Amino acid sequence: MIELLVVVGILALLTSILVPSLSAAMERAKVVRVHADLYGISTALIAYGMDHDDCYPPVRTSCNEDMRGHEYQLPVELSQEGYLSKGPDLNRMVGMEDVFNPDHTYKYNAPGDLVNNNTLIRNGNYVWIPDSFPDRENFDGDLWTTDDGKLYNKPKTSPLAWVIWSKGPKPESEKTKSPRSPVSKRTWYYRTGDSGVICRILTSGEQIITSP
């Protein structure tokens, strides 16, 4: 009996040591997968822009309760025109599921046209961008105030063409849901166990910027 208790104790100790390590390894693997997926999506968007005179698809939102949480989903044009695979339903019109947010696509945002409840609004979508963007070192901005950044709704005057992102390992975290997400670097995911978004950005100068 004593020997059995000792074995059980050893197994419990090994489990307590190995489980956190395994969890961290799984998280790192998912982060690698996200970066690979975002690379593929960005390639599709760039190809779309080349085929459409440097114009990108509109952003989609909806007031319908069934669509809550699915705002800023990947543009259906990418699947309709064969740049990416088709999704299973209206909540996922493109077949690219966010690894950290099951049953949702990765997110897409861009200054310019907005489709809200199937109604097209010209230049109706705004994206908050720090004043120092796209300075690689300094465009983190302030998380809660707009003093160092502003909203852009016209592609021709915006320093950002589009941004795509994953909600990261903690989709409901303060960083992920910040009104400055996903462009502010203060809302990015940096290390295992952290919260924040994982993103890929195309500047108006056609420079790609990625989170760590």
Domain ranges of the chain: 26-210
Reported confidence tier of residue 64, pLDDT bands at 50, 70, 90: confident
pTM of the model: 0.88
Which pairs from 192-196 meet CB under 8 Å and 24+ separation? 192/24, 192/27, 192/28, 193/24, 193/27, 193/169, 194/169, 195/168, 195/169, 195/170, 196/168, 196/170
95-117 average pLDDT score:
96
| Residue 53 predicted with pLDDT over 60 | yes
Residue with the bigger pLDDT between 142 and 133: it is 133
Distance, CA of 204 to CA of 23 (rounded, Å): 38
Residue with the bigger pLDDT between 117 and 114: it is 114
Express each pLDDT in 199-211 by its tens digit.
999 999 999 999 9
| Residue 68 predicted with pLDDT over 90 | no
Under 8 Å between Cβ of 79 and 94: yes
Which tokens go with 109? 């945002």
Query: What local confidence, expressed as pLDDT, does residue 63 receive?
Result: 79
| Residue 145 predicted with pLDDT over 60 | no
Distance, CA of 211 to CA of 185 (rounded, Å): 8
183-201 average pLDDT score:
95
**Can you list the alpha helix ranges (DSSP code H) found in 52-120?**
77-80
Reported confidence tier of residue 14, pLDDT bands at 50, 70, 90: very low
31-40 average pLDDT score:
98
Express each pLDDT in 155-168 by its tens digit.
999 999 999 999 99
Express each pLDDT in 72-87 by its tens digit.
999 999 999 999 999 9
pLDDT above 90 covers a percentage of the chain that reads: 73
Residue with the bigger pLDDT between 141 and 125: it is 125
